Every structure is written in structure tokens, then in C-alpha cells.
């Protein structure tokens, strides 16, 4: 298979200019149904969220390795069962009015995306040592249960082992090469992992890097952009899309 063929996803990527980061996490508790509903209310058409595995092997939508920051509980996600996680409040830490929000499973998330008509970038966010298992569980569920009414999903991960497993288990699910800064060998890694996009922090990103990625036919998605002026600058460089906690601030300059 050629490098270009390895990068080609099942369907051409057609993402919007603004992707809600963990929903609309600047306005609602991140990675909860309230956050994704808020994104939809704002007119966002795609969201990003994170997937971990519970102690009993269920993919759930939460960012951190522990529940301490975003719930009223304590402990590692990988050490808690789904039943234990479901007893935790995932909203009151953000705002008392959000009390009662729960950590959604990935399966529940797919139903919510169908209801709201939202596309998604799914970040495989494994606990240490669970890279392979988390990737396999995530992409298997996406491959088998992704709503046909929605555009195909895109998966990403900072963990190369997770992307490798995703590539092997579900080659038809498009992958994003997720990094904090663009490494010198980025093109080799993109080709090896069969990625369809480059996801990189906007901090330190340079216009010539965006141009380099564009020259090989890949879009650049920049995270996490909550300032309209910065978003406008990135778009002027050719950045295809930005992830934002505050899509309400960035949408007006996205040219959509």
C-alpha cells in the first residue's frame, strides 16, 4: 500500500471549522450530556471527547485517568466499575445547577450524537497500560454501532500503540495524528499509522508547518483555541479546523 493510500479514510474528511472540545466545556461540565447539548444549541456540528475503560472493560467518556477533578468521587477510572462510576456526580463541580450529570458510556454517547446530529472526533485516552484494550474497545464499538445518519467519525490518540491498534482493528475508521508539537518525522509517522489529519496544539504552531502538512494533502486541526483573534490568525494560515472550549466565541470568525 502506498503512503497516500494508507492515509485515505473510508470517506473523505469533511469536518467543520469549529469542533466543540469535550462538548462546550467552557460553558458546561466537560464530557457530559449537558456539554454536548450546549454545543448543539450553539450551532456546533462536531464535538470532541475522550474515552477510557472502566475496571470491567466498558468504554466511558471522561478525560482524566482519575475521577477526582470532574466528579464528586475519587479514584482511578481503571479501578472503578461502571456501576461505581455511574453513582458519581459529574456536573456539580462545574456549577451547582449542573448537579446530576453523569459520566456517559461510549454507547450512550453514540445515541446522544444521533439524537443531536453531531459528528465526533473520538480521542482514545487510555489509562497507563491499557492502550491496546482501550483502542480495541473504542474502535470496535464505533465500527459496529456508529449511527449511519452521521458523518463517519475520526479517532485520535497521543498514544502511538493505541493508534496502531486502531489501524489494525478498524482500518476503515479514519485516524488523526495527535501531538503537542509537530515532530521532525511527522510525515513518516502519519504514513505508518495511516492517518488522515494532523491534530496539534496551536501554541508554538507556525504557518510554515501548516503549509508543510497541507502540501501532502492533509488538514491541520489546532487545539485548544478559545480566542477569536487567534482563531482568525490560524484560519488565515490554512488551519482547517480548531477545537474550542468556547465555540460561541470562535464560530463568528470561522467563515461558515
Integer Cα distance of 58 and 81 in angstroms: 8
Do residues 29 and 90 make contact, with C-beta atoms less than 8 angstroms apart? Answer: yes
Which listed residue (21, 52, 167, 199) is catalytic?
Answer: 21
Contacts of 148 (CB under 8 A, 6+ apart): none
Please name which of 14, 16, 59 lies closest in space to residue 39, comparing C-alpha atoms. Answer: 16
Query: Which set of grid coordinates corresponds to residue 188?
Result: 513518516
Q: Where are the alpha helices (DSSP H) in the chain?
A: 3-7, 33-42, 82-86, 106-116, 131-145, 160-169, 186-193, 207-215, 228-237, 247-250
Tell me whether residue 145 is one of the annotated catalytic residues. no
Tell me whether residue 52 is one of the annotated catalytic residues. no
Integer Cα distance of 137 and 236 in angstroms: 38
Contacts of 195 (CB under 8 A, 6+ apart): 7, 163, 175, 176, 177, 189, 218
* Active site amino acids: 21, 63
Amino acid at each position: 500500500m502506498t503512503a497516500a493510500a494508507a492515509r485515505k479514510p473510508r470517506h473523505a474528511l469533511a469536518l467543520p471549522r469549529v469542533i466543540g472540545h469535550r462538548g462546550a466545556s467552557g460553558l458546561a461540565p466537560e464530557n457530559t450530556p449537558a456539554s454536548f447539548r450546549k454545543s448543539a444549541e450553539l450551532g456546533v456540528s462536531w464535538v470532541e471527547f475522550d474515552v477510557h475503560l472502566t475496571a470491567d472493560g466498558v468504554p466511558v467518556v471522561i478525560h482524566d485517568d482519575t475521577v477526582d477533578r470532574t466528579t464528586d468521587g475519587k479514584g482511578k477510572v481503571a479501578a472503578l466499575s461502571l456501576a461505581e462510576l455511574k453513582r458519581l456526580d459529574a456536573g456539580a463541580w462545574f456549577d451547582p445547577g449542573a448537579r446530576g450529570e453523569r459520566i456517559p458510556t461510549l454507547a450512550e454517547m453514540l445515541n446522544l450524537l444521533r439524537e443531536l446530529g453531531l459528528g465526533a472526533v473520538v480521542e482514545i485516552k487510555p489509562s497507563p497500560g491499557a492502550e491496546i484494550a482501550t483502542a480495541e474497545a473504542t474502535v470496535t464499538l464505533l465500527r459496529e454501532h456508529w449511527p449511519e445518519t452521521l458523518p463517519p467519525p475520526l479517532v485520535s490518540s497521543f498514544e502511538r500503540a493505541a493508534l496502531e491498534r486502531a489501524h489494525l482493528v478498524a482500518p476503515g475508521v479514519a485516524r488523526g495524528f495527535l501531538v503537542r508539537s509537530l515532530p521532525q518525522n511527522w510525515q513518516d509517522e502519519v504514513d505508518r499509522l495511516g492517518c488522515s489529519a494532523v491534530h496539534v496544539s496551536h501554541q508554538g504552531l507556525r504557518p510554515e508547518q501548516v503549509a508543510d502538512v497541507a502540501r501532502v494533502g492533509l488538514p491541520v486541526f489546532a487545539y485548544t483555541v478559545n480566542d477569536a483573534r487567534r482563531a482568525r490568525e490560524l484560519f488565515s494560515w490554512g488551519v482547517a479546523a480548531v477545537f474550542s472550549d468556547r465555540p460561541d466565541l470562535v464560530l463568528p470568525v470561522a467563515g461558515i
